[in-house]
């Protein structure tokens, strides 16, 4: 699965470069509040979801993107996301925390300085932490593999905001799809492993972006000129 995602990403990026006008490298810092939910046998668990609590999440994402010119100040943007993200699934009695490599794609409509976009991809947890109160257990990838099935967190996000060429600010909602599953018969490890099921969440936050000057492909356009004069 990982190889397929990487190959598809390389193919789309290479194809886009061949026909686009501008290439931009960006750095994004998402800051979000997250509220988890819990699914058992494909059904939302009312008992555990009622115990859900909000938690803070953060990440660092690099995004090479391609700007397709529609007209003078109207663009379609295709981006590839790659970076680090910390997911936190916090309940009243316990917390699951994961540090993941994130990779995905985003498609954005940009009329003038405004932006509206949709994105999606997967997060690959590499390490984590399981907490009860002030006590916690650090988990490496091997430990995660022994406690969870499907070591992938699929996500979909929607966002809107403003882009001032070198700096952008957007508001987003992110959905972590229930796929990452706690294994059966792990109740002895603590309250957080008492129930077998899949973790999910809804995140609301802001995303701050820093953008390098463009690299032009094909003929110049107004966006290229404006951005590189700043």
- Average pLDDT score over the chain: 86
Confidence band of 67 (pLDDT split at 50, 70, 90): confident
> What does the alpha-carbon distance between residue 27 and residue 211 come to, in Å, rounded to a whole number?
6
For the segment 132-183, what is each residue's pLDDT rounded down to a tens digit?
Answer: 988 999 999 999 999 999 999 999 999 999 998 789 999 999 999 999 999 9
Average pLDDT of the segment spanning 35-64: 90
Per the listing, tokens 């257990």 go with 137
- Residue-level pLDDT at 14: 53
Which residues, 6 or more positions from 216, have their beta carbon under 8 angstroms from its beta carbon? 21, 22, 23, 224
User: Residue 19 — pLDDT band, cuts 50, 70, 90?
Assistant: low
Its pTM stands at 0.83
Calpha distance 77→19 (Å, rounded): 13
With cut-offs at 50, 70 and 90, classify the pLDDT of residue 206.
very high
The residue ranges of every structural domain in the chain are 2-229
**Mean pLDDT to the nearest integer, 23-52:** 90
Query: What is the pLDDT, as a whole number, of residue 217?
Result: 59
Residues with Cβ within 8 Å of residue 43, at least 6 apart in sequence: none
Q: What is the pLDDT of residues 70-119, one digit of tens each?
A: 877 788 899 999 999 999 999 998 999 999 999 999 999 999 889 999 99
User: Nearest 5°: phi and psi at 40?
Assistant: -120, 130
Mean pLDDT of 34-46: 89
Could you give phi then psi for residue 190, rounded to 5 degrees?
135, 175
Pick the CATH number of 2-229 from 3.90.550.10, 3.20.20.140, 2.60.120.380, 2.40.160.20: 2.40.160.20
**Terminal alpha carbon distance of the chain:** 41
For residue 208, give the 3-state DSSP assignment: strand
Residue 144, φ and ψ in degrees, nearest 5 = -60, -40
Query: Which range, of 47-51, 125-129, 147-151, averages the lowest pLDDT?
Result: 47-51
Q: Which residues contact 169 (CB under 8 A, 6 or more apart)?
A: 161, 162, 206, 207, 208, 209
More confident residue, 68 or 28: 28
Lookup result for tokens 């590839």: 80
Burial of 1 (0-12, 13-18, 19+ CB in 10 A): exposed
**Beta carbons of 223 and 76 less than 8 angstroms apart:** no
């Amino acid at each position: 699965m990982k190889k397929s995602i990487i190959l598809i990403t390389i193919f789309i990026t290479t194809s886009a470069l061949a026909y686009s006008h501008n290439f931009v490298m960006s750095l994004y810092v998402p800051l979000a509040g997250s509220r988890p939910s819990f699914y058992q046998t494909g059904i939302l668990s009312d008992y555990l979801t009622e115990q859900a609590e909000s938690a803070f999440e953060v990440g660092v994402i690099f995004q090479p993107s391609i700007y397709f010119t529609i007209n003078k100040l109207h663009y379609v943007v295709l981006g590839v996301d790659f970076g680090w993200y910390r997911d936190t699934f916090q309940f009243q009695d316990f917390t699951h925390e994961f540090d993941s490599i994130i990779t995905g794609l985003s498609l954005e409509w940009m009329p003038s300085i405004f932006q509206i976009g949709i994105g999606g991809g997967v997060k690959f947890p590499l390490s984590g932490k399981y907490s009860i109160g002030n006590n916690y257990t650090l988990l490496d990838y091997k430990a995660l593999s022994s406690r969870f099935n499907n070591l992938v967190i699929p996500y979909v996000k929607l966002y809107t905001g403003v882009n001032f060429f070198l700096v952008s600010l957007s508001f987003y909602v992110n959905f972590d799809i229930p796929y990452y599953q706690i294994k059966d018969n792990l109740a002895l490890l603590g309250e957080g492993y008492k129930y077998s099921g899949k973790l999910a969440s809804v995140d609301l936050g802001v995303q701050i972006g820093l953008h390098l000057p463009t690299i032009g492909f094909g003929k110049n356009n107004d966006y290229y000129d404006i951005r590189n004069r700043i």
